[in-house]
């Protein structure tokens, strides 16, 4: 199982790297064509925007397992260890419901606007919007993984620092 998810994580990061590297390269190409060749690219801006969008949505999914989503940890810091296990489960449940809601509505967007095309690349919005449910499925998977890890490993009773300090006397 761990091996599978290692590959899964790696693939996501490679995709993220390609999307990011892609908009960087296209943005540079855009300057080069306009300023040096005096002949602007038609599709570059839209391509940059779409890759940027992809990197945000894919990145947001990866941020879940990488614990990179911005959080106000005012209350979290003061919670007793025993409570944290269930507290985090509640937080992950909210994140999971949101991700699933996005999957359904994102798919509905893709179907509704399948006939719409983008201005310069002439892509179908079906494909553009389809990346939302797909990245949100990845996000939902990552939420479940993070939740499981925190419940069974990070905040498992055996890892309670106070219990370990007392040598398990409780």
Distance CA 119, CA 26 (A): 17
Q: Is the backbone of residue 156 left (phi > 0), alpha (psi -120 to 50) or beta?
A: beta
Which one of residues 94, 148, 153, 156 is an interface residue with other proteins (CB under 8 A)?
94
Of the pair 85, 102, the CB lying nearest other proteins is at 102
Compute the half-sphere exposure of residue 34: CA atoms within 13 Å on the CB side of its CA.
11
Instruction: Choose the stretch contacting other proteins; rule: CB under 8 A; options: 105-113, 149-157, 160-168.
Output: 105-113
Strand partners of residue 117: 124
132 binds other proteins (CB under 8 A): yes
Q: What is the smallest separation between the CB atom of 72 and other proteins, expressed in angstroms?
A: 5
145 binds other proteins (CB under 8 A): no
The angle formed by the CA atoms of residues 97, 103 and 106, to the nearest 5 degrees, is 130
39 binds other proteins (CB under 8 A): yes
Distance CA 170, CA 163 (A): 7
- Cα 36 to chain center, whole Å? 37
- Residues of the shown chain interacting with other proteins in the complex, contacts defined by CB under 8 A: 13-14, 16-17, 19-21, 23-24, 27-28, 30-31, 34-35, 38-40, 42, 44-46, 48-50, 52-53, 55-60, 62-63, 66, 68-76, 87, 90-91, 94-95, 97-98, 101-102, 104-106, 108-109, 112-113, 115-120, 122, 129, 132
């Amino acid at each position: 199982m761990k091996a599978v998810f290692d590959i899964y994580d790696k693939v996501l990061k490679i995709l993220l790297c390609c999307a990011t590297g892609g908009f960087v390269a296209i943005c540079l190409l855009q300057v080069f064509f306009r300023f040096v060749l005096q002949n602007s690219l038609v599709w570059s801006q839209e391509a940059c925007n779409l890759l940027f969008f992809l990197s945000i949505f894919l990145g947001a999914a990866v941020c879940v397992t990488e614990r990179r989503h911005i959080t106000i940890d005012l209350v979290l810091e003061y919670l007793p260890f025993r409570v944290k296990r269930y507290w985090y489960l509640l937080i992950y449940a909210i994140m999971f419901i949101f991700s699933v809601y996005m999957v359904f509505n994102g798919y509905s967007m893709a179907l509704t606007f399948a006939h719409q095309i983008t201005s310069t690349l002439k892509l179908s919005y079906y494909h553009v919007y389809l990346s939302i449910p797909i990245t949100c499925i990845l996000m939902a998977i990552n939420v479940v993984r993070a939740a499981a890890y925190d419940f069974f490993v990070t905040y498992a009773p055996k890892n309670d620092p106070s219990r370990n300090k007392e040598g398990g006397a409780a």
